[in-house]
Amino acid sequence: MSKCDESTYLGFDFSTQQLKAVELNSDLQILNNAAVQFDTDLPEFRTMSGVTIHKDGRTVTAPVLMWVKALDLLLDRLKIAGVDFSRVASLSGTAQQHGSVYWQKGVHQKLQSLQPNRFLHDQLRDAFSLADSPIWQDSSTTEQCQQLENAVGGPEKLAEITGSRAYERFTGSQIAKVYQTKKAVYNNTERISLISSFACSLFVGDYAPIDYADASGMNMMDLKTKEWSPQILQAVAPDVEAKLGTPVPSYTNIGPVSKFYVERFGFNPQCRVIAFTGDNPASLIGMRLKTGDIAVSLGTSDTLFLSLRQPKLILEGHILSSPIDKDGYMALLCFKNGSLTRERIRDSCVEGSWKLFNELLNSTPRGNFGNMGVYYDIQEIIPSVKGDYRVNKANVQLSKFNSKEIEVRALIEGQFLGKRAYAEDLGVSLGENTRIFATGGASNNSAILQVLADVFNSPVYTLVSFQKEVIHILTCITYFLDFHDVMCAC
């Protein structure tokens, strides 16, 4: 067996509720995996679902040190599970998007001289000027969003530059809020990382750059030039460019793993660390989407994403930089009313039985006799509306349908018709080569997937169970194998 065949690869996922890792070989076979649940494994941080919701109900943060301590615990669990760190050729990972980490002045030197006989969280206890990081669930920056849009000439102009209009959870408005409300914290900050680049920094023992794909979820990077927009930087905070560093392609080989991991865990000093990225860009890679493919995630919220060759101006959704092609793009559409809305109609029609729900769905023809419905339990993102709306084939609005089977099909067809309409607004042309990849909880329901296939007039594929579990981690494997082929020439 060649040395290349013996090599393994580690992928890490710093998600909202847990930190997980998987070890794979060159054939993408899972060898080991482990996870740390923030709420249960680290109760001292007192999070709920991995976050802290503040009294105003809009400010949502997570303790930075919790993520560091979780990494200490995870690496020990991987070692107990049997991972031979000396065989790991390279590692990378992904993280929840938009969240920001604020490194205190003077920490750079500490990162470069970590002591192998001490836990990471002990050494980095005082490393952060802001102990609690604002994360993607935060919605407290409405004022700062308005400021960003006004600074560049409105939401359309901001979307033209960055790929999205201003969103409260995006990092630009979050940094602006920190500067405006916590100036001492901002002034004492040496580096601002995304959660993905923060995680990467832990492994390289140095400040890791932000990658293009995750940077495009900040409302700060010019999508076309892949550089920070000077106009936006000025509106966010003074000297912010120096604190952010220069963004890099998502597949960048950042450097060797820190000596800390070599001496503490037995990593090979030649183990390479590849840039970490955000969870949505990682999903694009993990699903191995090709041009013309569409991914649909059917979860608490539904998302649709696909690759694009050219960016398109949209105000309802996001255009991000591609994580696999520095000159490419990806589109991301998010719909709040997903599985919970499906469950509400299921409960009202068949008292919670998916079996009976599917029987009703299968008993009605495509097109639902001309009846249509859209259902929004909470204020939707696209379109911005709330409530239930039903019309019959005569386009007459109804308060309810006269049969449960029509109600069930109206719900599912309506959800997928909306997704198709917005996909076509992005310039998607459905044809004989179009493939739909479904993931999320509802992708296990063949009756729902049949409607998805009918609405898009395209075949639908699902991922095997283990891929669903590690889809956000598989992003790194593509990078690993490409890099390792060059290193091993095998």
Judged against a pLDDT cut of 70, whether residue 478 lies above it is answered with no
* CA pair distance 305, 472, nearest whole angstrom: 14
Average confidence (pLDDT) over 100-112: 96
Judged against a pLDDT cut of 50, whether residue 487 lies above it is answered with no
Judged against a pLDDT cut of 80, whether residue 402 lies above it is answered with yes
Average confidence (pLDDT) over 330-347: 91
47 within 8 A of 63, measured Cβ to Cβ: yes
349 band by pLDDT with thresholds 50, 70 and 90: very high
361 band by pLDDT with thresholds 50, 70 and 90: very high
426 band by pLDDT with thresholds 50, 70 and 90: confident
| Count of beta carbons in the 10 Å neighbourhood of residue 346 | 20
Average confidence (pLDDT) over 422-427: 84
Instruction: Evaluate the CA torsion angle 61, 65, 66, 68 in order and state its sign.
Output: positive
Query: Residue with structure tokens 């709330």?
Result: 386
* CA pair distance 320, 159, nearest whole angstrom: 11
With a CB cutoff of 8 Å and minimum separation 6, the contacts of 301 are 334, 335, 336, 337, 338
Lowest-confidence segment of 222-226, 322-326, 379-383, 416-420 by average pLDDT? 379-383
Whole-number mean pLDDT of the chain?
Answer: 91
Topology of domain 289-489, CATH: Nucleotidyltransferase; domain 5 (3.30.420)
Of residues 125 and 424, which shows the higher confidence score? 125
Q: Which of 323, 311, 321 is nearest to 426 (CA)?
A: 311
For position 464, what pLDDT does the model report?
A: 59
Q: Both tokens of residue 13?
A: 């996922």
479 band by pLDDT with thresholds 50, 70 and 90: very low
Of residues 327 and 40, which shows the higher confidence score? 40
258-280 per-position pLDDT tens digit: 999 999 999 999 999 999 999 88
For position 47, what pLDDT does the model report?
A: 95
| Count of beta carbons in the 10 Å neighbourhood of residue 394 | 6
**Dihedral (C-alpha) 264, 267, 272, 278: value to the nearest 10 degrees?**
-60
Average confidence (pLDDT) over 397-407: 96
* pTM given for the model: 0.84
* CA pair distance 233, 253, nearest whole angstrom: 27
For position 2, what pLDDT does the model report?
A: 54
% of the chain beyond a pLDDT of 90: 74
Q: Which of 166, 142, 172, 137 is nearest to 154 (CA)?
A: 166
57-94 per-position pLDDT tens digit: 889 999 999 999 999 999 999 999 999 999 999 999 99
Average confidence (pLDDT) over 146-171: 96
For position 379, what pLDDT does the model report?
A: 76
383 band by pLDDT with thresholds 50, 70 and 90: confident
Judged against a pLDDT cut of 70, whether residue 119 lies above it is answered with yes
Q: Which of 87, 11, 85, 31 is nearest to 488 (CA)?
A: 87
Judged against a pLDDT cut of 70, whether residue 316 lies above it is answered with yes
Judged against a pLDDT cut of 60, whether residue 476 lies above it is answered with no
Judged against a pLDDT cut of 80, whether residue 350 lies above it is answered with yes
| Count of beta carbons in the 10 Å neighbourhood of residue 145 | 23
Domain spans, the chain: 8-275, 289-489
Average confidence (pLDDT) over 362-377: 96
* CA pair distance 406, 373, nearest whole angstrom: 9
* CA pair distance 96, 60, nearest whole angstrom: 14
Query: Residue with structure tokens 């630009």?
Result: 172
Q: Which of 285, 280, 296 is nearest to 456 (CA)?
A: 296
175-203 per-position pLDDT tens digit: 999 999 999 999 999 999 999 999 999 99
3-state SS, residue 136: coil
241-263 per-position pLDDT tens digit: 999 999 999 999 999 999 999 99
For position 325, what pLDDT does the model report?
A: 87
Judged against a pLDDT cut of 50, whether residue 121 lies above it is answered with yes
* CA pair distance 432, 411, nearest whole angstrom: 26
Helices within 163-313 (DSSP H only): 171-181, 183-187, 195-204, 212-215, 230-236, 240-244, 259-265, 279-286
Q: Which of 171, 162, 166, 284 is nearest to 224 (CA)?
A: 162
Q: What are phi and psi of 5, to 5 degrees?
A: -65, -25
% of the chain beyond a pLDDT of 70: 93
| Count of beta carbons in the 10 Å neighbourhood of residue 165 | 22
SS (H, E, C) 77-97: HHHHHCCCHHHEEEEEEEECC
For position 28, what pLDDT does the model report?
A: 84
For position 308, what pLDDT does the model report?
A: 84
Instruction: Tell me if 8-275 shares its fold with 289-489.
Output: yes
With a CB cutoff of 8 Å and minimum separation 6, the contacts of 208 are 193, 197, 198, 200, 201, 254, 273, 275, 276
475-488 and 279-286 helices, crossing angle to 10° = 60
Topology of domain 8-275, CATH: Nucleotidyltransferase; domain 5 (3.30.420)
Instruction: Evaluate the CA torsion angle 36, 40, 45, 51 in order and state its sign.
Output: positive
* CA pair distance 244, 8, nearest whole angstrom: 32
For position 280, what pLDDT does the model report?
A: 86
312 band by pLDDT with thresholds 50, 70 and 90: confident
CA 320-321-322 angle, to 5 degrees, is 110
Name the burial class of residue 79, with classes exposed (0-12), middle (13-18) and buried (19+) by CB atoms within 10 angstroms of its CB: middle
For position 385, what pLDDT does the model report?
A: 87
Query: Residue with structure tokens 């989407």?
Result: 289
Q: Both tokens of residue 366?
A: 């495509």
